[in-house]
Amino acid sequence: MTTDTEAVSLPPNLLPAVRMAGPGEADRYRDEFKHQERVTSWDTATRYMDELVRYFEQIPNAHRILDFDCFTSSWAGAQWRDLYTIDRKACQWAKQTLLITFTGSYYLDEEGEIPMPPITYFTRLQESTSARQQSLSRVLDHVSRWQSIRVVGYQPNREYSSYPVLFLGLYLSSPIEKENLRSVLKSHTDNCCIADWEPHQVNDAISIKSDPSHKSELVRGLGKRVPGLKSNNGITAEPWDRRAVATVLHAGNWRCCRFGRSI
pLDDT, tens only, 170-207: 999 999 999 999 999 999 999 999 999 999 999 999 99
Q: Is the dihedral of CA 84, 86, 87, 91 positive or negative?
A: positive
pLDDT band for position 15 (cuts 50, 70, 90) = low
Where does the pLDDT of residue 127 fall: very low under 50, low under 70, confident under 90, or very high at 90 and above?
very high
Examine residue 78 and state whether it is found in any structural domain, yes or no.
yes
Question: Has residue 6 been placed in a domain?
Answer: no
C-alpha to C-alpha distance for 189 and 196, rounded to whole angstroms: 6
Q: Is residue 236 part of a domain?
A: yes
Q: Contact 262/144 with Cβ under 8 angstroms?
A: yes
In a domain, 226, yes or no: yes
What is d(CA 157, CA 108) in angstroms, rounded to the nearest whole number?
21
Classify residue 188: in a domain, yes or no. Answer: yes
Give the span between the Cα atoms of 205 and 53, in whole angstroms. Answer: 33
Does 12 reside within a domain? no
Rounded to an integer, what distance in angstroms lies between the CA atom of residue 135 and that of residue 158? Answer: 27
State how many domains the chain has. Answer: 1
pLDDT at 1: 41
pLDDT computed for residue 13 by the predictor? 58
Q: What is the reported pTM?
A: 0.91
Range of the domain at 242: 25-261
Query: What average pLDDT does the segment 132-137 reach?
Result: 97
Does position 5 have pLDDT exceeding 50, yes or no? no
Q: What pLDDT, on a 0 to 100 scale, did the predictor assign at position 105?
A: 93
Quote the crossing angle between the two packed helices 240-251 and 118-125, to the nearest 10°: 70
CA gap 74, 63 in Å, rounded: 7
pLDDT value at residue 110: 76
Distance, in Å, from the CA atom of 35 to the CA atom of 208, rounded to the nearest integer, reads 45
Mean per-residue pLDDT of the chain: 90
- What digits encode the pLDDT tens for the residues 48-80? 999 999 999 998 888 888 888 999 999 999 999
